[in-house]
Chains A and B, each alone.
Chain A
Amino acid sequence: MTEKIAYDDVEVGTELPARTFPVTRATLVRYAGASGDFNPIHWNEKFAVEVGLPDVIAHGMFTMAEAIRVVTDWTGDPAAVVEYGVRFTKPVVVPNDDKGATIEVSAKVAAKLDDNKVRVDLLATSAGQKVLGMSRAVVRLA
């Protein structure tokens, strides 16, 4: 297990290790099954285009789940996350090829709060576009 991060060891501006997450059509099918969200815009290209999307898009909740991994990998304990919120600004478009798309996530400590909590601001992009806005987590550290 990761060593627990101590509140006293972080400061405003501390950067968390950035990550890149791959997403393919197969990823989306698996996520649909695990989450119960079978909206065809996440697996059916014909349907997605008919409703005005450029192609199949990733579930916003999938992107949200990937982004927080930067925080949970940092703290080691997923239960350190006490608040987490995002705005879905742009969809992650997932082409039907063997490469799919990638979601790039970086994060830094934006504020130190009381009770050993810190606010982490996340930046998630795909194909050069910001896909999550106002992406923030509050985590309680050791």
Chain B
Amino acid sequence: MALDQSFVGRTYPPTDPYEVGREKIREFAVAVGDANPAYADPEAAKALGHRDVVAPPTFVFAITFKAAGQVIEDPQLGLDYSRVVHGDQKFAYTRPVYAGDRLTVTSTIEAIKSMAGNDILDIRGEVHDEAGEHVVTAWTKLVARAAGTEEA
């Protein structure tokens, strides 16, 4: 069943702050096999002009996707998460994410489309720091495949 179009434009309350830890950044960099010293060594990051270790470009997804859970699990929206696949992902940075940042995410439903029985949901997550300054915007496209289809 197609999702309710009246949810387009709906914005959910900002999340509680997520504190970005140096060790969490290091763990993520190790998990993707990336030995760039800017992820692990504060001095190396400072040599590049940064105040602390930098998070890899896709690190923030863990935070924005958790925030998007407000949308995904909204019982009124009624998305069948068991049929959801990740369609597109995009980030636009005002500044990089650093260790020590306390980030909040505000999620908005940008679009709902229905194509061939699939529900396509575009969620925008605006990430701000503790001072209220914009850090990054994450756009996530989720596709809930129609029941009965089995394409990967």
Contact = CB atoms under 8 A, between A and B. Distances in A.
Interface of A: 1, 21, 27, 30-31, 33-37, 51-54, 57, 60-62, 64-66, 68-69, 72-73, 76-79, 81-88, 90-91, 134, 137
A88 B88 contact: yes
Contact of A21 (B33, B54, B93, B95): B33
A84 B152 contact: no
B62 to A, nearest CB: 5
Contacts of A73: 36
Interface in B38-89: 38-39, 44, 47-48, 50, 54, 56-58, 61-62, 65-66, 82, 85-89
B27 A61 contact: no
Interface of B: 24, 27-28, 30-34, 36-39, 44, 47-48, 50, 54, 56-58, 61-62, 65-66, 82, 85-93, 95-96, 139, 150-152
Contacts of B36: 72-73, 76, 78
A53 B58 CA distance: 25
B88 A85 contact: yes
Contacts of B47: 1
B88 A86 contact: yes
Contacts of A85: 88-91, 139
Q: Binding site of A, secondary structure by majority: helix, strand, loop or mixed?
A: mixed
B31 A35 contact: yes
A34 B89 contact: no
B30 A79 contact: no
Given A33-B31, A53-B152, A91-B152, A64 B88 contact: no
B48 A76 contact: yes
Given A65-B56, A79-B96, A81-B57, 6 more contacts: A1-B37, A33-B27, A37-B65, A68-B57, A72-B56, A79-B48
A80 to B, nearest CB: 9
Given A61-B61, A65-B56, A91-B152, A83 B87 contact: no
A83 B138 CA distance: 10
Contacts of B88: 85-88, 134
Given A68-B57, A85-B90, A31 B65 contact: no
Contact of A72 (B57, B61, B139, B150): B57
A34 B27 contact: yes
A83 B93 contact: yes
20 contacts: A1-B47, A1-B48, A21-B33, A27-B31, A27-B33, A33-B27, A34-B24, A61-B86, A64-B89, A66-B32, A68-B57, A69-B32, A78-B36, A78-B54, A78-B57, A79-B93, A82-B93, A83-B92, A85-B89, A86-B88
